[in-house]
Amino acid sequence: MATELEEKVDVNWDDLTFSATPTKSIYLTTCKEDGQWKPGELIPYGDISISPAAGVLNYGQGLFEGMKAYRTSKGNIGIFRPSENAKRVNSGCRRLCMPEIPEELFWDAIRLVVKDNEEYIPPIGKGALYLRPLVFGSGPVLGVKPAPEYTFLIYVSPVGPYFKGAMSGIHLKVVENFHRAPQYGTGGVKAIGNYAGGMYPARLVKTEEFSEVVYLDAREEKYIEEVGAANFFLIKGDVLASPELDGSILPGIIRKSILHLAGTEFGYKVEERKVHVDEIFEGDEAFCSGTAAVITPIISMTYRDRKMIYCDGEVGKKTMELYDGLMQLLLEQRDDPYGWLETI
């Protein structure tokens, strides 16, 4: 199967990184400000044209999603909890004054673009086809107000791990002079404008050999929020803690799924609450989660002049157990009593 695929598309499945590879097609549709989305169509992969006065270019009116299509062990193409993504898109659309997308139309769009780009889905074990839905104000607008027209598009790309050498773990630095999002801002939705501000702090810490920054809450600077664009977890004994969703943290679908699995199948006491930065020095294991990162173990966390090392050489057992539990669901290697996996 793999060799057959390799002949068809020019992708080296063994060297996949988390980067954009051109594929066959893009899904695209539009909607007027007060109108209804109509079913879209596939266009050849390539550049799109846009008004210089587009709402997204001028005021960042737009959001994105991140999903993955995997080849499963049963030979299906699996997508994890897509209706959760559809719901999150719509909570973002409401927050950013964009027309909501009917869940049916969203799912039809996903199926259409994945099927058409099927040959770009990596063989099992080599990675996934990353799906990147975008919703943005594409109509021209000069004053600060919602754009008169919107575009919903999905492009796809085969990807490997989000962090380099991800499964051996990452080193993180807690930053104090930068925040990701304030409590009543747009941190709770995948607003395009949330991400540019994180590039500079990430660049600063990367020069010190850290993979990413860890943000503290903007109000008190005491509580862990997120790891760049992934949710944070701390294990201590039989407790699995993750920062509570208070508006500034992105409600990750992998986060929600891990909390559920950990409580029902792995016997953890699951705590969604404020996680004080001092607690990182008392944890047994720590990891971060996201569609892109899946579960990425944290080797060390540095806060001010203190460094906590969770694992050196070997990734923590409990983190690996949760990782395996989740991956088995994603790859249809076990029963899915939750109905989380949709196949195409």
Task: Determine whether 190 is an active site residue.
Answer: yes
Check residue 296 and report its DSSP letter: E
Chain residues binding ligand PLP by CB under 6 A are 66, 190, 226, 229-231, 250, 252-255, 289-291
Residue nearest ligand PLP (C-beta atom)? 252
User: How far apart (Å, rounded) are the C-alpha atoms in residues 342 and 344?
Assistant: 7
Residue 82 CB, shortest distance to ligand PLP, in Å, is: 11
Closer to ligand PLP by CB, 200 or 281: give it: 200
Residue 107 CB, shortest distance to ligand PLP, in Å, is: 16
Beta strands 294-303 and 170-175, pairing class: parallel
- For 113, 122, 124, the CA distances from 232, given in Å and listed in that order, are 31, 28, 27
Residue 12 CB, shortest distance to ligand PLP, in Å, is: 26
Residue 230 CB, shortest distance to ligand PLP, in Å, is: 5
User: How far apart (Å, rounded) are the C-alpha atoms in residues 227 and 237?
Assistant: 22
Closer to ligand PLP by CB, 212 or 285: give it: 212
Closer to ligand PLP by CB, 131 or 299: give it: 131
CB within 8 Å of 282: residues ≥ 6 apart: 236
User: How far apart (Å, rounded) are the C-alpha atoms in residues 98 and 92?
Assistant: 8
The three-class DSSP label of residue 125 is: coil
The three-class DSSP label of residue 42 is: strand
Convert 189-231 into a string of H (helix), E (strand) and C (coil): CCEHHHCHHHHHHHHHHHCCCCCEEEEECCCCCCEEEEECCEE
- Residue type (1 letter), 156: V
Closer to ligand PLP by CB, 16 or 295: give it: 295
CB within 8 Å of 171: residues ≥ 6 apart: 209, 210, 211, 298, 299, 300, 301, 302
Residue 298 CB, shortest distance to ligand PLP, in Å, is: 15
Closer to ligand PLP by CB, 226 or 285: give it: 226
Closer to ligand PLP by CB, 181 or 280: give it: 181
Q: How far is CA 237 from the centre of its chain?
A: 28
Closer to ligand PLP by CB, 139 or 155: give it: 155
Output the DSSP codes for 77-96: EEEE-HHHHHHHHHHHHHHT
Q: Which of 68, 126, 173, 190 is catalytic?
A: 190
Residue 132 CB, shortest distance to ligand PLP, in Å, is: 11
Convert 248-268 into a string of H (helix), E (strand) and C (coil): CCCCCHHHHHHHHHHHHCCCC
Residue 109 CB, shortest distance to ligand PLP, in Å, is: 18
For 115, half-sphere exposure in the C-beta direction (CA atoms, 13 angstrom radius) is 10
By annotation, the residues acting in catalysis are 190
